[in-house]
Homo-oligomer: A and B are copies of this chain.
Amino acid sequence: MTDFDATRFLDAYGLRATRPRTMIAHILFADGRDRHVTAEWLSDEVGRRGEPVALATIYNTLHSLVEAGALREVRGAAPGTIVFDTNAHPHHHFFDETTGELTDIPAGALSLSGLPEAPADKTVAGYDIVIRVR
């Protein structure tokens, strides 16, 4: 079984260990796998495992986790849905236009050459590369 300690995990990110957050942390981080989840999927999954959590709380928690740095919001997926990535480190994605599925591109498999300068008095905060496949 998993020896994942959700309370400790949340604590490390400065978040109180409440019931919803504990469940969500388990689902997302217990096995250390990289996941791409939507609020809706997560809500369903929470329901499947026990007491449901209000959708608004799902969003709250996801955003808290993003802010804390445990999760990353992925841009470039189908418009109209936010995808959260349990891999918070910089990396890029395949986006399958047919299925809407998002897959990681193995780190280091890809790099940019000639990163242009940011416009005046702006700094580059990062970059997202989405390879669209069909």
Contacts and interface: CB of A to CB of B under 8 A. Distances in A.
Q: Quickly give the copy total for this chain.
A: 2
B122 A116 contact: no
Interface stretch (A45-53, A55-63, A64-72, A102-110): A102-110
B110 A115 contact: yes
Contacts of A81: 79
Interface stretch (A3-11, A24-32, A123-131): A123-131
Interface of A: 73, 75-77, 79-82, 94-97, 103, 105-106, 109-116, 118-119, 122-134
A116 B123 CA distance: 28
A127 B94 CA distance: 9
A67 to B, nearest CB: 14
A114 B106 CA distance: 11
B129 A112 contact: yes
A96 B75 contact: no
Contacts of A113: 110-113
B124 A133 contact: yes
